[in-house]
């Protein structure tokens, strides 16, 4: 099993993978988080009328900052010199869909950075609206696409 699990050493202990011999390539990843709330709360978010201020702008900045700090949060992630991080938000029914894209030219991918950005952006939305609705839920955080690297491209159906 340890021959398939790259983050385990010969004794089965967690380790950071040595990526020093991997080629430097352009890598991108996109992740999505879905936040469900009432129509009234979503309307306040979209109108910029939430009590704590600009929910979408704050969530966007929180996601970008989180992507830059992923290696501090996820123990076996490499610190990456991110080229770009973008976080967007789109309403869909009674949900807010947050999408984070990260890009890097490096020896390892940016999937965790994109997923961390989406997750923290979603948590920030919750924090910004909990004063008007405690029942807001974060329903999912998932990788939707990646490109570059040894494993090639991936796109969620």
C-alpha closest to that of 70 among 141, 119, 122, 133: 119
**Strand 137-147 relative to strand 25-36, pairing:** antiparallel
C-alpha closest to that of 153 among 26, 9, 66, 17: 26
Which residue matches tokens 């390892």? Answer: 108
Give 49's DSSP letter. Answer: -
Distance in angstroms (rounded) separating the CA atoms of residues 33 and 89: 10
- Where in the sequence numbering do the catalytic residues fall? 127
Distance in angstroms (rounded) separating the CA atoms of residues 116 and 134: 23
């Amino acid at each position: 099993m340890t021959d398939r699990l790259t983050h385990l050493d010969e004794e089965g202990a967690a380790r950071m993978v040595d990526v020093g011999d991997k080629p430097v390539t352009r890598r991108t990843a996109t992740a999505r988080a879905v936040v469900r709330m009432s129509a009234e709360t979503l309307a306040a978010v979209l109108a910029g009328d939430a009590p704590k201020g600009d929910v979408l702008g704050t969530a966007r900045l929180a996601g970008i900052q989180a992507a830059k700090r992923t290696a501090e949060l996820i123990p076996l992630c490499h610190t990456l010199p991110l080229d770009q991080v973008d976080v967007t938000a789109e309403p869909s029914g009674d949900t807010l869909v947050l999408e984070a894209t990260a890009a890097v030219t490096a020896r390892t991918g940016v999937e965790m950075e994109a997923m961390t950005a989406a997750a923290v952006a979603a948590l920030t939305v919750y924090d910004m609206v909990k004063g008007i609705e405690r029942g807001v839920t974060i329903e999912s955080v998932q990788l939707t696409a990646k490109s570059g690297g040894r494993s090639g491209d991936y796109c969620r159906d």
